[in-house]
Amino acid sequence: MVGVFRDYNPFGIIFLFFYGLILKYASFLQPHIPVAQPTDGFLYHSLLRSMESAGKSSPVIYSLFAYVLVFVQSIMLNTMVNNRRLLPKPSFLAAMSYLLITSFFPEWWQLSSTLIVNTFLIWIFSRMSILYSYPKAKLLLLNVGFVLGVSSFFYFPSLAFLLLIFFALLIMRPFRLVEWMVGLLGIMIPYYFLFAWMFLQNDWNIKKILPSVTLSYPTFQQTIWAWGGLLLLVIPFMISGFIIQGSILRMLIQVRKNWSLMLVYLLLAMLVPFINSSSTFEYWILSALPFAVFHAGAFYFSKRRYFPVILHWLMVIFVLALNWALLGF
């Protein structure tokens, strides 16, 4: 299966679609009805309200929506990895890794605000990765800031990824204060229009759209499945990081900078769930995107042919067993 996705075959997209369905089949047999949390943005609350009537009669609609999002995100991520040449040759390994990783924990194959935000973050990182040589950097930063501001309407703590924009400017470009200010301006524009609309509607209830923010230590249910998923998440990442570190000097400067930015992305994604934390893995899905890229590196750069095959099937067996356990067999 790794060999199928290692080649950039047009039929790979079809294989990916059914591959993901098999990995998440329990989500369609036992659909989960999402419940908005206080830290979720008002657009996510509105989305769930609009789906409520259809969801009561057919809860599987939530699973279908979540899977379509995950599949589209996997293709977007894979396109970005190929276009930015994070891997030497085009493949579908990044998409395969993302579909696998988002199957490690049941919360990651369910509809959530952070799952929706991942779509915005892929686009944001894709634009940040070309900042090194983009001739219209101010326009790009304005657009990126605007999209990040809109994403916070689904999951408010996603505003913390403003730091990703700042790190991208530090890594990719010489310091220019005006570019940093343009990025901030982009984030403020959606809020300007939102506050203007609230003023015209005479509905000046800030708490309704701006959730309270607290910092706390996140916890999770320490089951054998949770620890197994964490183990399969971390080990390929460490292997990939070791391999990439050994060959990074042979990479193009732009590719090297993008790998550095991807590592910053991962660190930020691991810190955001500390804002208004919960006892589930729901908000940790923000880290699935950078983890998937590093996992793709482990599958691609490994010099021993049998290692990617064994690693892949170990992950697949774990995911299928998890589905089986959730269905109560």
pLDDT at 133 over 90: no
Under 8 Å CB-to-CB from 264, ≥6 apart: which residues? 164, 167, 171
pLDDT at 329 over 70: no
Domain range annotation of the chain? 2-326
Distance between CA atoms of residues 34 and 222, nearest Å: 22
- The pLDDT assigned to 17 comes to 93
- The pLDDT assigned to 157 comes to 86
Q: Helix crossing, 93-101 with 288-301: angle to 10°? A: 130
First to last CA, the chain: 27
The model's pTM is 0.92
Residue whose entry in the numeric block shows the structure tokens 């047999």: 29
Q: Give the number of other Cβ atoms within 10 Å of residue 142's Cβ.
A: 19
Distance between CA atoms of residues 318 and 262, nearest Å: 27
Q: Kindly report, residue by residue over 259-302, the tens digit of the pLDDT.
A: 999 999 999 998 887 776 665 678 889 999 999 999 999 898 87
Q: Which residues of 6-33 are buried (b: 16+ CB within 10 A; e: fewer)?
A: beeeeebeebbeebbeebbbbbeeebbe
Under 8 Å CB-to-CB from 151, ≥6 apart: which residues? 117, 120, 121, 124, 158, 161
- The pLDDT assigned to 277 comes to 61
Average pLDDT over residues 66-79: 95
User: Could you tell me the two tokens for 321?
Assistant: 């067993």
Give the side-chain half-sphere CA count within 13 A for 24. Answer: 33
Q: Give the number of other Cβ atoms within 10 Å of residue 128's Cβ.
A: 24
How confident is the prediction for the chain on average, in pLDDT?
Answer: 87
Average pLDDT over residues 52-65: 90
Based on the number of CB atoms within 10 Å of its own CB, is 115 exposed (0-12), middle (13-18) or buried (19 or more)?
Answer: buried
- The pLDDT assigned to 190 comes to 92
Kindly state the percentage of the chain with pLDDT values over 70: 92
pLDDT at 39 over 70: yes
Q: Kindly report, residue by residue over 188-233, the tens digit of the pLDDT.
A: 999 888 888 887 777 777 666 776 666 666 666 678 888 888 899 9
Distance between CA atoms of residues 69 and 238, nearest Å: 27
Average pLDDT over residues 324-329: 80
Give the side-chain half-sphere CA count within 13 A for 33. Answer: 10
Q: Give the number of other Cβ atoms within 10 Å of residue 56's Cβ.
A: 10
User: Could you tell me the two tokens for 14?
Assistant: 């079809």
pLDDT at 10 over 90: no
Nearest to 155 by CA among 286, 40, 36: 40
pLDDT at 183 over 70: yes
Average pLDDT over residues 166-188: 89
Task: Pick 204 or 58 by higher pLDDT.
Answer: 58
pLDDT band at residue 321 using 50, 70 and 90 as cut-offs: very high
pLDDT at 326 over 80: yes
- The pLDDT assigned to 278 comes to 62
Polymer length in residues for the chain: 329
3-class DSSP assignment, residue 233: helix
